[in-house]
Amino acid sequence: MGNYKIDLRSEEEQKVEAERQLQYIDEIREQVSEISENLGRPLYSCVVTFGCQMNARDSEKLRGIFASAGFLDTSNEDDADFVIYNTCTVRDNADQHVYGRLGHLNSVKRKKPGMVIGLCGCMMQEKHIVEKIRKSYSFVDLIFGTHNLYEFPELLLRVIREKKRVIEIMEATPYLPESLPTERKYAFKSGVNIMYGCNNFCTYCIVPYVRGREISRKPIDIIRECEKLAADGVREIMLLGQNVNSYGKTLDEKISFAELLEMVCRVDGIDRIRFMTSHPKDLSDELISVMARNPKVCRHMHLPVQSGSDRILKNMNRHYDREHYIELVRKLREAMPDISLTTDIIVGFPGETEEDFLDTLSLVREVGFDSAFTFIYSKRTGTPAAKMENQVPDDIVHERFDRLLAEVKVSAEKMCARFEGQVMDVLVEEKNKQPGLVTGRIGHNLVVHLTGDESMIGKIVPVRLVACKGFYYIGEPA
């Protein structure tokens, strides 16, 4: 699954490789123009994203490359000439979803012989999965891993020219894809990668094996990207990393995530700054202080706890205990009393007893989360937890999962309702499916549906939060 090395090339080599890939885009554009002329219609591409915000940002690169190469974008896989699935492998159901979608695409491709199908992302870093695709899904034309994103133009050109399967899987990231074109989903908000990979090796998690070791981008490059985004009309940015709190550890000149965040706060034109994900073991007092004194930083912290049991946390290799986590929550609320806290919780980790699970329920009650992403433990081949004894029976896991959902619902409804009646700023993001409504978020990351029209999209407007409906608000422009 990987040798965990870092293989990042020099700055000069990065520039040379970026230029090379941009030249490939020019060559693809010529090929696409020729094919389009012969067909008498444009070529369409479709990028489907599974998984986290990091994957979503990677998909914006894929869309940007397609657009620069002359493809038109479509959200309908059946209409596309080139479909690419950007995959996630954190849980088994994500894998199964991809296999199911591929089965459908196979039938579509039989009717469209010129259709090209590609797979990339985290699933493709697992050798047994690539082997399965190679043998059982012969209609897939392109397979590449997380470390090959930078060379997508070259791989795309090869598939178009050679008309045969291309498979490229690297074990480490030699070149970052930052210089490649990007097609943002939203004009007014954007993710910004500040680092790649993860060094934590939680025993249940596949991410360090498929994303590689931590690599932090230089602060000057991050700030320049933020400045360009601001100049392009972006109002909100989200700083992205598997563990943003450990940012800077791989750089020659040491810098903390708190120091980077303060630098980003000084970028003119950016009104809101979010970040994720934060690991509790690395959350510093310095970061809490920077958040508290900078109004641009959204009052929301996603802080995955995973379990309320010290014994399970130790077996997960999380490097903190329950007491430490609760102390972090105390510090955050002391510095920012209105902060929204969200988390991740795993149910059914190997060896979890009823007592361990009750510790998790009591932690949910004690902390009072605004919401929690709850997951049933998913065995991932190659992780230490997959080999652990005492795997919890499915019926017990599902029963506990239902109890956890009920507990989270009680906590979340109580916490989310605390803003009812207040006037708060909402960044309007999209039209609602209901006529006469638009949807956006307050800085605390809570969704608000409010009266409005398309002209409000991308604007930050004051809204009275009229009624809390559990996990969202109904609002009226103030």
| Predicted confidence (pLDDT) per residue in 407-434, tens digit | 999 999 999 999 999 999 999 999 999 9
Dihedral sign, Cα of residue 70, residue 71, residue 72, residue 73: negative
Query: Which pLDDT band holds residue 1 (cuts at 50, 70, 90)?
Result: very low
Report the C-alpha gap between 413 and 369 in whole angstroms: 9
pLDDT value, residue 5: 62
Q: Which of 170, 152, 125, 174 has the alpha carbon at shortest distance from 61?
A: 152
**pLDDT over 70 (residue 115):** yes
205, with CB counted inside 10 A (0-12, 13-18, 19+), is buried
Residues 180-237 have pLDDT tens digits of 999 999 999 999 999 999 999 999 999 999 999 999 999 999 999 999 999 999 999 9
**pLDDT over 60 (residue 118):** yes
pLDDT value, residue 60: 97
pTM of the model: 0.94
**pLDDT over 60 (residue 31):** yes
Report the C-alpha gap between 359 and 311 in whole angstroms: 10
Q: Which of 91, 87, 115 has the alpha carbon at shortest distance from 101?
A: 87
pLDDT value, residue 309: 98
Q: Which residues contact 432 (CB under 8 A, 6 or more apart)?
A: 438, 439, 449
pLDDT value, residue 113: 84
pLDDT value, residue 7: 79
Residues 185-198 have pLDDT tens digits of 999 999 999 999 99
**pLDDT over 50 (residue 2):** no
12 phi, psi to nearest 5 deg: -65, -40
Map residue 142 onto helix, strand or coil. Answer: strand
% of residues, the chain, pLDDT over 70: 99
Q: Average pLDDT, stretch 93-105?
A: 94
Report the C-alpha gap between 213 and 199 in whole angstroms: 6
Q: Average pLDDT, stretch 379-392?
A: 94
Residues 249-264 have pLDDT tens digits of 999 999 999 999 999 9
**pLDDT over 50 (residue 117):** yes
Higher per-residue pLDDT: 5 or 188: 188
**pLDDT over 80 (residue 3):** no
Q: Measured at the alpha carbon of residue 474, what is the angle toward residues 469 and 477, in degrees to the nearest 5? A: 160
